[in-house]
Amino acid sequence: MKIESKEYRTIWFENNVVKIIDQTKLPHRFVIKDLKTVMEAVNAIKIMEVRGAPLIGATAAYGLVLSILENKDQSFLKKSADYLIKSRPTAINLKWAVDRMMKKLSGVNSDKIFEIALKEAEEICKEDEKFCKNIGIHGLKIIEDIHNKKKDTINILTHCNAGWLATINWGTATSPIYQAHRKGIPIHIWVDETRPRNQGANLTSYELNEEKVPNTLIADNTGGLLMQRGKVDMCIVGSDRTLANGDVCNKIGTYLKALAAKDNNIPFYVALPSSTIDWKTKYHKNIPIEERNSDELSHIEGLDNDGNFKTIRIYPKKSKAMNLAFDVTPAKYITGLITEKGICEASTEGLKNLFK
Ligand code: MRU
């Protein structure tokens, strides 16, 4: 994707350093940051300088490369893997990526371990880029079908940032959007602000602007009314963990949008690469839901009139707050899952048929 007309990936390895775009500085500043140690990678995931399920998986993979650069000892590597897996609890990609790396690296005591690790981390990134592009190609068909019937601008609602910035390139929910835009299909995106961290406002709107895709920010509670008034043709969201039965765990608020979409007969799609599928967890109540610091609710960050970053408190100190980061949308509210292999029903059969 392009930032100020220059093509970027969200993470890359250069001169023994992992380069990331510090997402806590967006949209006001575009800062590329160096990660030099595994603990810097752990921290970048924890404080959400990198975020989004596929990107935190890729960062963890590169984190293990950094760990090997620091110390080739297997016990250090194992400890690093544990730290990385624990850095955020909900998105399954983190564990998926670490397990995939450790399968290649466990027991390797030769000097080759660094090359093996770097090759696998690069492979994870290349695969994610390819899968996300394919998600776009499959999802494009849905947008084309709607456009063939409507013959007018297609209004798509999305939640949080399941965009380029959440992946290596293309994004998941945004990939069909970018494909449709490049094909000249008139689209307009309703971007949920996505409180409390405002990934919709700060990141999705930012990247859509950079790619010149028409979009409008809305407060999180606005989608229902827009759906009732015929202003939403479809919803596409991402996923942090999709269970084998098709239930989808994604950014808090996704479930409420799916309920509103169902009530208004609006197609509700989830876009995800297979690295987001949790084949093991049987029941959605067993998914660990991240609970973040309530400061994210009570404080807000932005630029003051002089262009300086400021953090201000927005409600009384005495008010108690709870900050849960993800919710679960049951499969019955999902029209379809858009994956790298094609579109399937959100169900055990649907996923089984696609991923034999
Ligand atoms: O808390 P975040 O910003 O990491 O949450 C990201 C999301 O919820 C995305 O929608 C999800 O990772 C899917 S992204 C491809």
Nearest to 326 by CA among 350, 290, 272: 290
The ligand 1 atom nearest the CA atom of 203? 3
Give the Å distance between the CA of 165 and the centre of ligand 1: 9
Give the Å distance between the CA of 115 and the centre of ligand 1: 30
Active site residue 99: no
- Look at residue 185 in the predicted model and tell me its pLDDT: 98
May I ask the CATH class of domain 2-127? mainly alpha
- Look at residue 37 in the predicted model and tell me its pLDDT: 98
Q: pLDDT, tens digit, for every residue of 216-240?
A: 999 999 999 999 999 999 999 999 9
Q: What is the mean pLDDT of residues 174-178?
A: 98
Average pLDDT of the chain?
97
Taking 90 as the threshold, does the pLDDT of residue 3 lie above it? no
Taking 90 as the threshold, does the pLDDT of residue 109 lie above it? no
Taking 90 as the threshold, does the pLDDT of residue 5 lie above it? no
Q: If pLDDT is split at 50, 70 and 90, which confidence band does 111 have? A: confident
Q: For 265, left (φ over 0), alpha (ψ -120 to 50), or beta?
A: left
Q: Could you check whether 2-127 and 135-354 share the same CATH topology? A: no
Give the Å distance between the CA of 51 and the centre of ligand 1: 7
* Host H or E run for residue 277: strand 277-278
Q: What is the mean pLDDT of residues 70-80?
A: 97
Listed in sequence order, the residues at least 6 apart from 99 whose beta carbon sits closer than 8 Å to its beta carbon are: none
Q: pLDDT, tens digit, for every residue of 26-49?
A: 999 999 999 999 999 999 999 999
Strand-pair partners of 324 = 291
* Cβ–ligand 1 contact at 199 (below 6 Å): yes
May I ask the CATH class of domain 135-354? alpha beta
* Cβ–ligand 1 contact at 276 (below 6 Å): no
* Cβ–ligand 1 contact at 81 (below 6 Å): no
Domain map (residue ranges) of the chain: 2-127, 135-354
The ligand 1 atom nearest the CA atom of 271? 15
